[in-house]
Structure 1
């Protein structure tokens, strides 16, 4: 993996090096052959070409050569001087000539001055000729050696070609090795964190969520995101295990509560069906009532299961309209107190307004708060005081149910609204399905409300339900 990622970095770098080398060679060739006006710093022939073309500025007056006004301007611009020689090498015309320049040149002197820069007062000479009426006139252009210089070099073309081949090859090889070396270490520095990141992702995929990565370097944001992802996955795994444990407990309790009434139904049914067993009409009626009661309990349990499934999966459309929360809660308390079993319970109802409107489904809203209030009554001693408060503040409606009962342990509060957490034996006085609190929370969630529980052992429990009108308007 490391070599693969490093090669992905090195291959483009090598290709860029080769391209850069060829571009540089092309640039050197181009600029070395540029015209003088383009400020080339290396020149193989431009000044020779310039000298040959300068002949067009030489004119003849009475068969005597001289420089035209345009030529004089050109020489002034180049800061150059000129001598024109006859066929014998004697000067017949000059312009801006330095004092050291001779008036007569032998062929050998002319070659000497041409070959060596600064032979005549810091000047580099270039020579050409013009023809006028079958007579050749030689002219010398002199440029300051700071402008152009000439150095004579003798070499063997064959050896020169081999030399440059070796130089170019050596430079290319050294450059290539240098690029490979630098690129390798630089690539390793870049790819090492990527390899670590890939390994981290693979570790997360295998379920290792406890690894923490140092937030550093160029990829610090990636490391930070990996830590956040690991925390989220770990929390999700903990939640999954918790839900799986609750599901197992739920199935166990549900199986128990179905098994108990089924055992009763089966037992009393066998008694009724046994022709050898003599029973009185009163006993027969008693056994039949028990069978009907157990069957009704099972029907209610299954109906509650269906309802909690529909609420969980948003399959239950709520028929919402504006209702008075104070009136609904008061009716729930009155119905509870009218039950002979709970008629002597101390339940107090408090509100700051007589009319608190809220958009809700009356039937399911009533069921949710019936479950919550009944829960405060049936799971506490008869002398427990229960206080139900309805308040309206700005855009918030709050229903608070407090009791002075035995309270709930802190570790049990999170399980209070778990489906079938409180399994109720059919032998107990209150025969519920065990889904009441879970259904209550799901109904409140479906209405856009929030529910929270605070409790302390020996001091009682408080359940606060809050509805925001803004959420209702969206619904």
Structure 2
């Protein structure tokens, strides 16, 4: 994978270099062609060549001889040059601003020489035509230089083609070296990222750190964050699956016992010598076991709906003091709990919550019932309503740190619940109900000193 990425990167770099060279050559040829077709007037408007070509407008014939106008003399002064007009024999017939030592006659070879190579005073010469006369314009110490060269077109094209091929090869070679260097730097982390993603796909969530992360440092950081998240989800899934299996095992066990009782007492009811009192006793046992199984299945259904957020809440504004007081009275009126020391306090008579009364009652009762069931008969429980919410506090056995970490997990039974019947879903259901209301639970406990549960909802 790494070398495949490197080859692709190199191919991309070389392709870009080749395209750039070709485009540059095309643009250069286009510019040269445009200049040839449209001329260089814009580029050479102030050159000596243009000035000389246009100077004929300042010349006229008077009495058979050429004459330079005053405007022409002024133009010569402004340009910094001088002018001589020659007849067909090379004889100077008129001049303007010419040096004192300037020749008065020029042979054809002299004209060619000074036009091509300047003279000893570094004067650049330009030649123009006016009717049957020629004129010679000179500019001393001109910034312009005339370069004359000759070449064979065939040889020139051959040279240009070879130069183009050589430059292209050199550019491609340099680009290949640079591209190879950068491809190694870039494709190595990219290849590593692909491998990491493949590992995540294979459920390998181990955190890995790569040296020289470069510009990909945020990517590797995010990959490690994803690994940590997936690892946490995997652990949670494994933990949940294990607890679900344990819960199913417990439910199966809990259902077998009442089912066995139902089956056994149903068989006894068919006996002919069963008395009416025995028949009523057997029917009561069957009814009690059936209610227990129904409660078990209802708890299972409720916890699944709460877990999947499919439980609708029938909210209504509720004054918390009277709501909790009635709940405590209901517990004390239950014959099973009439002897327990359960008290109620409130210092927030006007506190109201928008809640589903039925579900919230069940959540609070779960905590109260747990405090009663899992402690000794002399337990003292206080339920309080304050401005900060509801507090349920007891002075019982307390909860171990190991159980505290899992006390709200579904299907979890504490270490002190071996002889306690129940579905194992009570506290998980309470937590889910309160969280569905947008509320929170804190539970603190100390072995031998008791447990304190605080419930509050942010309105």
Measured against the shorter chain, the TM-score band is: 0.7 to 0.9
Q: What is the distance in 1 between the residues matched to 2:22 and 2:225?
A: 44
Q: What is the distance in 1 between the residues matched to 2:8 and 2:315?
A: 62
Deviates more, 1:161-170 or 1:356-365: 161-170
Q: Does 1:84 align with 2:85?
A: yes
Corresponding residue of 1:473 = none
TM-score, normalised via structure 2 length: 0.88
Q: Is the 8 A contact 2:382 2:393 kept in 1?
A: yes
DSSP 3-state at the match of 2:326: helix
Corresponding residue of 1:472 = none
1:280 to partner: Cα distance: 4.1
Q: What is the distance in 2 between the residues matched to 1:9 and 1:168?
A: 19
CA 1:81–1:211: 2 relative to 1, 3 Å? farther
CA 1:219–1:423: 2 relative to 1, 3 Å? closer
Q: What is the distance in 1 between the residues matched to 2:84 and 2:207?
A: 89
Aligned counterpart in structure 1 of residue 25 of structure 2, from 21, 28, 32: 21
Matches within 5 A, 1:430-449: 431-449=421-439
Corresponding residue of 1:238 = 235
**Structure 2 stretches lacking a partner, 5+ long:** none
DSSP 3-state at the match of 2:397: coil
DSSP 3-state at the match of 1:88: coil
CA 1:14–1:462: 2 relative to 1, 3 Å? farther
Matches within 5 A, 1:415-454: 415-422=406-413, 431-454=421-444
Corresponding residue of 1:106 = 107
DSSP 3-state at the match of 2:337: coil
1:335 to partner: Cα distance: 2.1
1:274 to partner: Cα distance: 5.0
Q: What is the distance in 2 between the residues matched to 1:113 and 1:64?
A: 25
Corresponding residue of 1:257 = 254
Corresponding residue of 1:302 = 297
Aligned counterpart in structure 2 of residue 402 of structure 1, from 382, 393, 404: 393
CA 1:21–1:162: 2 relative to 1, 3 Å? closer
Q: Is the 8 A contact 1:127 1:141 kept in 2?
A: yes
Corresponding residue of 2:135 = 139
Corresponding residue of 1:455 = 445
How many corresponding residue pairs? 453
Q: What is the distance in 2 between the residues matched to 1:73 and 1:189?
A: 69
Backbone CA RMSD of aligned residues: 3.0
Q: Is the 8 A contact 1:124 1:149 kept in 2?
A: yes
Q: What is the distance in 2 between the residues matched to 1:172 and 1:419?
A: 72
Deviates more, 1:243-252 or 1:58-67: 58-67
Q: Is the 8 A contact 1:330 1:349 kept in 2?
A: yes
DSSP 3-state at the match of 1:452: strand
1:82 to partner: Cα distance: 1.5
Q: What is the distance in 2 between the residues matched to 1:62 and 1:249?
A: 131
Q: Does 1:148 align with 2:144?
A: yes
CA 1:230–1:99: 2 relative to 1, 3 Å? farther
Matches within 5 A, 1:322-333: 322-333=317-328
Q: What is the distance in 1 between the residues matched to 2:136 and 2:306?
A: 108
1:451 to partner: Cα distance: 1.2
TM-score, normalised via structure 1 length: 0.85
Q: Is the 8 A contact 1:116 1:152 kept in 2?
A: no
Aligned counterpart in structure 2 of residue 311 of structure 1, from 306, 316, 320: 306
1:298 to partner: Cα distance: 0.8
